[in-house]
A = this chain, B = another copy of it.
């Protein structure tokens, strides 16, 4: 009797530690996809990881580093039997990927993504997906300036935010499951409307990247000697911009092509503010300069208090 009880307990335990997703397919296995796979493994959320990548070298790296159990270059093959499909490629490709995988998705599967733009992804992906799968668009706000599966690490999402932008027709259960997954991977989770997400990210991410790319471009247009000096003496602020501007060019091209309106709106405000600063400097208005610079510290304090520094 006691023995039987133990057996029952043991069975229950085995059931409890079964992974959340038996099979997860990553379409794209770069910095974010690889980090997700590693974070999922760390949390025991996944059985088999399938990685789909165009380049043979990427597939080999994903296997060699133990990020994926199986690899393929074929979108359709990748998703067969997958309980969760993560689209983790530059957002410009997401529509075509959705179209390619749609007929091969397992009924009841969850499809999510990691794109830095949400409305355009929703518009491009949702129409292709069959009604018997659940689409939960997502965006983990984490990253580094490095690219490729070799740049991935399990801790990338710890204490960072992941924003989910479920559609009105997305099942609450599927959204809750994806949120639960992200929390178990170390992240905080918030829900948002896609359009609102895109405006927030235009300010916090897209404009900063645009500016960093632009200033680095301005510097690279300098004459040879001056350019070398800029590199040599970059420790004074410039190198922080170059780190931001070292991010994946294709990914960023797609972001700007797919979040044009929000980016242009916030860029317009920034340009006006910069023109005002130019005038203040030209006039030599010390108090106005100090005022602006003092406000910067307050925002920084807010970020430190929000533990996102």
Interface residues of chain A, those whose CB is within 8 Å of chain B, are 92, 116, 141-143, 145, 160-161, 163, 190, 199-201, 203-222, 226, 229-247, 249-250, 252-253, 256-257, 260, 263-264, 266-267, 269-271, 273-275, 277-278, 281-282, 284, 286, 289-290, 292-300, 302-303, 306, 308-309
Contact between chains at A300 and B208 (CB < 8 Å): no
Tell me the complex Cα distance, A24–B30, Å.
53
Give which listed residue, B161, B207, B245, contacts A215 with CB less than 8 A.
B207
Tell whether, in the assembled complex, residue A290 and residue B249 are in contact, meaning their CB atoms are under 8 Å apart: yes
A-B contact pairs, 21 of them (CB 8 A): A145-B300, A161-B232, A203-B222, A203-B230, A204-B238, A205-B237, A209-B237, A210-B274, A214-B274, A216-B295, A217-B295, A231-B308, A234-B306, A245-B300, A246-B297, A249-B293, A249-B296, A250-B290, A257-B281, A260-B284, A271-B275
The answer to whether A219 touches B203, judged by C-beta atoms less than 8 angstroms apart, is yes
Complex Cα–Cα for A295 and B299 (A): 31
In the bound assembly, the distance between CA atoms of A183 and B11 in angstroms comes to: 67
**Minimum distance in angstroms from A252 CB to a CB of chain B:** 5
Q: Tell whether, in the assembled complex, residue B257 and residue A284 are in contact, meaning their CB atoms are under 8 Å apart.
A: yes
Chain B residues positioned under 8 Å from A274 (CB to CB): 210-211, 214, 267, 271
Complex formed: what's the CA distance from A201 to B238 in Å? Answer: 9
Distance in angstroms from A308 CB to nearest chain B CB is 5
Complex Cα spacing A206 to B201, Å: 26
CB distance from A97 to the nearest CB of B (A): 18
Q: Kindly list the 9 A-B residue pairs having the minimum CB-CB distance in the complex, ordered from nearest.
A: A245-B296, A205-B236, A249-B293, A208-B237, A246-B300, A204-B238, A253-B289, A231-B302, A242-B300
Question: Nearest CB to that of A197 among chain B residues?
Answer: B233
Q: How far is the CA of A234 from the CA of B299 in the complex (A)?
A: 10
Q: How far is the CB of A203 from chain B (nearest CB, A)?
A: 5
Q: A308–B235 contact, CB under 8 A?
A: yes
Chain B, residue nearest A200 (CB): B229
Residues of B within 8 A of A219 (CB): 203-204, 299
- B218–A270 touching, CB < 8 Å: yes
Please give the distance in Å from A215's CB to the nearest CB on chain B.
6
- Quote the shortest CB–CB distance from A204 to chain B (angstroms): 4
A286-B257 contact, Cβ under 8 Å, with A217-B296, A240-B208, A242-B296: yes
The complex places the Cα of A68 from the Cα of B210 at a distance, in Å, of 44
CA A284 – CA B264 in complex, angstroms? 11
Q: In angstroms, how far is the closest chain B Cβ from the Cβ of A152?
A: 17
